[in-house]
């Protein structure tokens, strides 16, 4: 079979077009192996391929790519071109396509929240009764009303010479409306337009905007022409409002001290009554690292897959069968629910205790629960390591796997042995399977309920992961464990932010086409129709802070072009490594920062140098060391001294990249540091010019 591709798209000089599809000649959907198109005229590109084995594939799917002069590629937004080859009786197919920019707002209405919930797809209809077809017209028309459909009018006998009392109605077919017509006896050239037809009133309502569409060619029994005409050019608007709220704030009388997954259904009822269309929640992944209130920060997940046990409703698990395990806790439930704030640690303590009892009571029944086994098998890849991690965390009373006595380095064979049902500690593993299973059921029930009310759920995916969590334990090669992610200083955080998350080894992730991220999105897609990605800028650059720092101010952007040492000489700037890269400390600075504590600081934390200068003692020369010393020596009442030492350490002009004293980055706002202000005027001006450059 011969297939001709014609793409209507105006390119600039030097640009080119290729096509990617699910057959060998089109690269089997590998963008790098896409098939080049040839320039046809000022408004279109063309390519011809031959499929020698008609049985090679039943359906051809494809999309176009634009290649820019700088080597970058832009993949078009159309994902729905599918050609049925199996039932085709023709020898030749001509495809007349329109480029679909990914930025077309209409594409939004074919994403999951719209197409599956807010504006559900129509049932497919088939209006064609022709014996054979020479042309198939396809067009997309989101946001039509239920009583509306697409019609086509145009020149010639087949299109009824523009008679709007006899328009050709299009069938619904997946995401397209289509019309299959026979032009074997009609004239060419044909002009046509799509319009809207009201099926209840049986009346043509309006034409689309813009000029007439034009079709050249002729009909043939051995050739099928398929026209992908893009979007119907009519004005349709959609408006919707939503609410954003953390699940823990949805506390109800049936909750146990904190909002739970079943409480989302109450919010859905309220959203439905008020006409809201979207509910956005904060991250709901497990953050249990220390079994303390420190774990309440929802953006530090120990697993990017596991749901947080705090959101489970114990009563739903117990049912009537195990009500005796829940009823005695009603006094505690009432007490926790009446608190003005969530008592995170207390809620977790009670929930985990009851979950163990419920698991013990249900573990035999689980052996014959097919739904449980389906969940386990579908999620085994992450669920087993997660359960093992939780067991080891609790066994060694720390989530920092580098300090465990065993299994510091993740090994799949060793973990399979650890979680074997024959192990004495198996119940301590199985309780985590059990908990995640019921969390899944309860969250899925809320999701399904939202969809039944035509409401979409929006999840929140943090850019980072907890440093000592299951993901870092399993895949340390994907992370820069000696770096911390954060944000640079601004008016709200003058010292910057340090989130503590490791940064990503993007080049390593790219080796398997970012499967870690893809799997993460796939898992969360079980519950959410759409995502907010917290700090999405992190996909392009991240504020990276060394682990020796506590404050974000000592970070730098990655990637960023460093200043090479030679640039200082090229700009006639005197360069001295210690002066620019180490804290500049003299009596004036010490007195300003520490006032009445100045002599104490000089004695305990500093060594004197010639020319009235000082340096920090080795045991205090990083913010991390200072922080640790103050914790160990219980010097909490010395916050002024601690912060002053942090400021001394960050009183630098340059941050070195790597080692070798060759590549540097200016510390952000380095021109405002005391180190900079103590330079001579000429050096300040020269350095500032280079900093701005």
Asked whether 553 and 668 are in contact (CB, 8 A), the reply is: yes
What is the per-residue pLDDT for 381? 97
Whole-number pLDDT of residue 604: 94
**Percent over 90 (pLDDT), the chain:** 88
The rounded distance, in Å, linking the Cα atoms of 427 and 662 is: 56
Among residues 231, 266, 295, which one ends one of the domains?
Answer: 231
CATH classification at residue 190: 2.60.40.10
Residues whose CB is less than 8 angstroms from the CB of residue 16 and which lie 6 or more positions away in sequence, other chains included: 36, 37, 39, 66, 67
Please report the pLDDT score of residue 52 as a whole number: 77
Beta bridge partners of 44: 8, 41
| DSSP designation for 307 | B
Distance in angstroms (rounded) separating the CA atoms of residues 365 and 434 = 11
- At 55 the three-state DSSP class reads helix
**What CA–CA distance (Å, rounded) separates 438 from 455?**
23
Please provide the distance, in angstroms rounded to a whole number, between the alpha carbons at the two ends of the chain.
59
Q: How confident is the model at residue 469, as a pLDDT?
A: 97
pLDDT in tens, 250-275: 999 999 999 999 999 999 999 999 99
> Most distant CA pair in the chain: distance in Å?
102
Question: What pLDDT digit, counting tens, does each position of 389-438 carry?
Answer: 999 999 999 999 999 999 999 999 999 999 999 999 999 999 999 999 99
C-alpha distances out from residue 44 to 6, 9, 12, 311, 491, Å: 7, 5, 12, 55, 51
The neighbour count for residue 444, using CB atoms within 10 Å, is: 14
Partnered with residue 640 across adjacent β-strands are none
Encoded tokens for 79: 């994902």
Cα–Cα distance measured from residue 592 to residue 103, given in angstroms and rounded to the nearest whole number: 54
Average pLDDT of the segment spanning 226-244? 94
Residue 10 DSSP label: -
Q: What is the pLDDT of residues 15-51, one digit of tens each?
A: 999 999 999 999 999 988 999 999 988 889 999 999 8
DSSP conformational letter for 292:
S
**Mean pLDDT of the region 146-170:** 95
For residue 683, which of 103, 58, 475, 691 has the smallest C-alpha distance?
A: 691
Nearest to 427 by CA among 352, 358, 363: 363
Which of 120, 51, 115, 63 has the alpha carbon at shortest distance from 88?
51
Residue 464 lies in a domain: no
Please list the residues that pair with 201 across neighbouring strands: none
**Mean pLDDT (whole number) for 291-319:** 96
- pLDDT tens string 564-620: 999 999 999 999 999 999 999 999 999 999 999 999 999 999 999 999 999 999 999
Q: What pLDDT is recorded for position 85?
A: 85
Distance CA 655, CA 667 (A): 6
SS3 category, 214: strand
Tell me the H-state helices in 367-490: 370-396, 412-418, 426-452, 470-474
Q: Does 188 score more than 80 pLDDT?
A: no
3-class DSSP state for residue 688?
helix
Residue 280 lies in a domain: no
Q: What percent of the chain has pLDDT over 70?
A: 98
Q: Which letter, b or e, does each residue of 499-514 get, where b requires 16 or more Cβ atoms within 10 Å of its Cβ?
A: bbbbbbbeeebeeeee
The residue from 231, 259, 294 where one domain ends is 231
Burial 101-127 (b: 16+ CB within 10 A, else e): eeebebbebbeebbbebbbeeeeeeee
Place of tokens 């009764």: 129
- Give a yes or no: residue 123 inside a domain: yes
Last residue within a domain, chosen from 231, 251, 277:
231
Torsion angle, alpha carbons of 389, 394, 396, 398, to 10 = 80
pLDDT for 187 equals 72
Q: Give, in order, the Cα–Cα distances in Å from 124 to each of 176, 517, 565.
A: 10, 34, 67
User: Does residue 520 contact residue 461 with C-beta atoms inside 8 Å?
Assistant: yes
DSSP string, 540-581: T-EEEEETT-SSGGG-EEES-PPEEHHHHHHTT----HHHHH
The verdict on residue 560 lying in a domain is: yes
Q: Residue 640 in contact with residue 598, Cβ under 8 Å? A: no
Task: Name the band, by pLDDT with cuts 50, 70 and 90, for residue 655.
Answer: very high
Which pair of tokens denotes residue 653? 């002009």
Rounded-to-integer distance, Cα 261 and Cα 458, Å = 14
pLDDT-derived band at 130, boundaries 50, 70, 90: confident
Q: How far apart are CA 545 and CA 543, in angstroms?
A: 7
User: At CB < 8 A and 24+ separation, what contacts does 512-521 make?
Assistant: 516/471, 516/475, 516/478, 519/382, 520/304, 520/305, 520/461, 521/461
Mean pLDDT in the chain?
A: 94
Q: What angle do CA 618, 624, 626 make, to 5 degrees?
A: 60
- DSSP assignment of 498-511, as one string? E--PPEE-HHHHHT
- Residue range(s) defining the domain that contains residue 562: 552-692
Nearest residue to 14 (alpha-carbon basis) of 39, 35, 34: 39
Question: Residue 127 pLDDT more than 80?
Answer: no
Tell whether 454 is covered by a domain.
Answer: no
pLDDT value at 637 more than 70: no
Looking at the structure of the chain, the number of domains it has is 2
User: Would you report the helix, strand and coil content of the chain in percent, each value rounded to 5?
Assistant: 40, 20, 40
Nearest residue to 297 (alpha-carbon basis) of 548, 568, 37, 498:
498
User: Rounded distance, CA 641 to CA 620, Å?
Assistant: 12
Condensed to tens digits (0 to 9), the pLDDT of residues 443-489 reads 999 999 999 999 999 999 999 999 999 999 999 999 999 999 999 99
- pLDDT, one tens digit per residue, over 63-115 is 999 999 999 999 999 999 999 887 678 889 999 999 999 999 999 999 999 98
324 belongs to a structural domain: no
Say yes or no to pLDDT of 55 above 70.
Answer: no
Is 403 part of any domain? no
For residue 377, tell me if it sits in a domain: no
For residue 309, which of 189, 437, 213 has the smallest C-alpha distance? 437
pLDDT at 122: 79
Residue found under tokens 């590629």: 73
């Amino acid at each position: 079979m011969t297939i001709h591709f014609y793409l209507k798209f105006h390119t600039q000089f030097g640009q080119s077009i290729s096509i990617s599809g699910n057959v060998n000649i089109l690269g089997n959907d590998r963008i790098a192996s896409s098939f080049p198109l040839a320039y046809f005229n000022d408004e279109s590109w063309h390519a011809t391929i031959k499929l020698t084995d008609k049985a090679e594939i039943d359906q051809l799917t494809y999309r176009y790519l634009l290649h820019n002069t700088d080597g970058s590629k832009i993949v078009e937004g159309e994902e729905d071109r599918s050609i049925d080859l199996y039932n085709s009786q023709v020898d030749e197919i001509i495809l007349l396509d329109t480029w679909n920019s990914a930025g077309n707002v209409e594409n939004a209405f074919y994403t999951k929240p719209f197409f599956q919930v807010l504006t559900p797809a129509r049932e497919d209809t088939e209006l064609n009764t022709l014996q054979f077809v020479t042309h198939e017209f396809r067009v997309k028309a989101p946001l039509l009303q239920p009583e509306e459909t697409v019609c086509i009018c145009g020149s010639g006998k087949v299109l009824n010479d523009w008679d709007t009392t006899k328009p050709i109605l299009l069938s619904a077919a997946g995401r397209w409306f289509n019309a299959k017509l026979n032009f074997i006896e009609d004239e060419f050239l044909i002009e046509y337009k799509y319009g809207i037809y009201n099926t209840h009133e049986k009346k043509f309502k309006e034409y689309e905007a813009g000029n007439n569409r034009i079709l050249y060619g002729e009909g043939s029994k051995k050739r099928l022409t398929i026209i992908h005409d893009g979007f119907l050019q009519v004005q349709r608007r959609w408006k919707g409002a939503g609410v954003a709220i953390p699940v823990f704030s949805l506390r109800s009388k049936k909750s146990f001290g904190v909002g739970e997954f079943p409480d989302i259904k109450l919010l859905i009822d309220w959203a439905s009554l008020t006409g809201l269309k979207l509910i956005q929640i904060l991250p709901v992944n497990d953050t249990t690292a220390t079994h303390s209130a420190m774990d309440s920060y929802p953006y530090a997940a120990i697993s990017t897959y596991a749901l947080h046990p705090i959101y489970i409703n114990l009563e739903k698990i117990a049912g009537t069968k195990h009500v005796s395990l829940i009823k005695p806790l009603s006094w505690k439930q009432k007490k926790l629910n009446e608190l003005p704030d969530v008592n995170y640690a207390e809620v977790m303590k009670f929930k985990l205790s009851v979950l163990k009892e419920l698991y013990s009571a249900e573990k035999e029944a689980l052996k014959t629960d097919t739904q449980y086994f389906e969940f386990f098998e579908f999620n085994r890849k992450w669920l087993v390591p997660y359960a093992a991690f939780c067991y080891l965390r609790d066994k060694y009373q720390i989530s920092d796997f580098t300090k465990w006595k065993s299994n510091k380095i993740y090994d799949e064979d060793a973990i399979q042995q650890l979680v074997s049902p024959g192990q004495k500690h198996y119940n301590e593993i199985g309780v985590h399977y059990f908990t995640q299973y019921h969390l899944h059921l309860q969250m899925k029930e809320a999701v399904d309920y939202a969809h039944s009310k035509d409401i979409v759920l929006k999840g929140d995916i943090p850019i980072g992961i907890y440093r000592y969590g299951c993901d870092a334990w399993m895949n340390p090669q994907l992370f820069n464990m000696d770096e911390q992610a954060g944000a640079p200083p601004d008016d709200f955080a003058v010292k910057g932010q340090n989130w503590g998350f490791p940064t990503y080894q993007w080049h390593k992730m790219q080796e398997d086409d970012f499967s870690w991220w893809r799997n993460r999105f796939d898992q969360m897609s079980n519950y959410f129709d759409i995502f907010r990605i917290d700090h999405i800028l992190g996909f392009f650059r991240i504020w990276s802070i060394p682990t020796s720092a506590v404050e974000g101010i000592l970070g730098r952007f990655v990637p960023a072009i460093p200043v090479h040492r030679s640039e200082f000489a090229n700009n006639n700037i005197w360069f001295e490594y210690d002066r620019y890269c180490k804290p500049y400390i003299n009596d004036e600075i010490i007195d300003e920062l520490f006032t009445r504590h100045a002599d104490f600081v000089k004695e305990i934390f500093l060594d004197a140098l010639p020319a009235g200068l000082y340096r920090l003692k080795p045991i205090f020369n990083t913010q991390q060391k200072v922080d640790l010393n103050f914790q160990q020596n219980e010097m909490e009442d010395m916050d002024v001294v601690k912060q002053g030492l942090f400021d001394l350490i960050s009183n630098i002009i340059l941050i070195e990249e790597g080692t070798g004293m060759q590549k540097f980055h200016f510390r952000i706002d380095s021109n405002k540091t005391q180190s900079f202000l103590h330079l001579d005027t000429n050096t300040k001006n020269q350095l500032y010019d280079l900093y701005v450059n």
